[in-house]
Amino acid sequence: MARVVALLITLAGFWAALSFQLKTPLLVGFGVVCVVAVTAVCAKHRILIEDWSPARLLAAIRYLPWLLWQIVIANLRVIKIVWSPSLPIDPRLVEVPCDLKTATGRMIYANSITLTPGTVTIDVGPHYLVHALTPEDEAGLLDGSMLGRVRGLEGDAGAASAAEPKDAS
C-alpha cells in the first residue's frame, strides 16, 4: 500500500510541476483523475517499483540535477559536433560493465545513458551494449561516474536484493 501511495504522490507532484495549472479547477480535476487512473492501472497490473523503498526513490531526486547537467553538457558537445564542417564523429559500439543489483537501478542507469545525447543503450545484461557517437562519449561511459552515482542510489536496496536467494525455476 505504501508503494501505491508513494506512486500517487510522485505522479501528482510530477503533474503539478509540469502543468503549472493549479488555479483552474477543471484542469486540476483532470489532473487528479489522470493521476488516480494511472496509479490504479499500475497497482492492478503490479507495475510498481518493488525492489526500492519509497525513501530510496525520494533519494533519487538528488540524482536528477546531476543527470540534467550531464544532459546539458552532452547537448552542447553534440551541437558543436553537428555544426562542425568536418563532422568529427567516430561511432562505435561499447560494452559497458554494469554491476547494479536491482532492476530499478539497472533501469535508471540504462535510461540515463540513453537520455544523454551521444549515447544510446542498445542491450542490457551483465554488460550494456551502448552506441557512442565519439571516443569522448565512450570514455565518459567507461569512467564509471554515472554508474557510481546510480550504485549510490541503490544503497541498502542493492545489498538487500543481492542477499535474496534467486528462484531456481
Q: What is the pLDDT of residue 34?
A: 94
Pick from 44, 84, 61: nearest CA to 10: 61
71 inside domain: yes
Give the H or E element holding residue 161: helix 145-163
Give the DSSP per-residue string, 53-70: -HHHHHHGGGHHHHHHHH
3-state SS assignment for residue 42 = helix
Residues 88, 30 share a domain: no
Tallying the residues shown for the chain, one arrives at 169
User: Which structural domain, as residue segments, surrounds residue 88?
Assistant: 55-162
Q: Are residues 23 and 105 located together in one domain of the fold?
A: no
Based on the domain organization, do 26 and 76 belong to the same domain? no
pLDDT at 169 over 60: no
- List the grid coordinates of 111: 535510461
Which pLDDT score is estimated for 166? Answer: 42
Q: How far apart are CA 130 and CA 119, in angstroms?
A: 7
If asked whether residues 37 and 66 sit together in one domain, one would say: no
Q: In this structure, is residue 169 part of a structural domain? A: no
Ramachandran quadrant class, 100 (left: phi over 0; alpha: psi -120 to 50; beta: rest): beta
One domain for residues 67 and 135: yes
Residues 44, 60: one domain? no
pLDDT at position 128: 96
Tell me how many domains the chain contains.
2
CA–CA dist 105, 155 (Å, integer):
10
Residue 116 pLDDT: 93
Residue 134 shares a structural domain with residue 149: yes
pLDDT tens, position by position, 120-162: 999 998 899 999 999 999 999 999 999 999 988 887 554 444 4
- Please tell me whether residues 36 and 60 are part of one structural domain: no
The answer to whether residue 168 is domain-embedded is no
Both 90 and 126 in a single domain?
yes
User: For residue 1, what pLDDT band results from cuts at 50, 70 and 90?
Assistant: confident
167 lies in some domain? no
Is the same domain home to 65 and 145? yes
Residues 17, 86: one domain?
A: no
Cell readout for 66 is 546531476
> pLDDT tens digit string along 15-67?
888 888 888 899 999 999 999 999 999 888 877 777 777 667 677 778 889 99
Average confidence score pLDDT of the chain: 85
User: pTM for this structure?
Assistant: 0.72
Both 16 and 93 in a single domain?
no
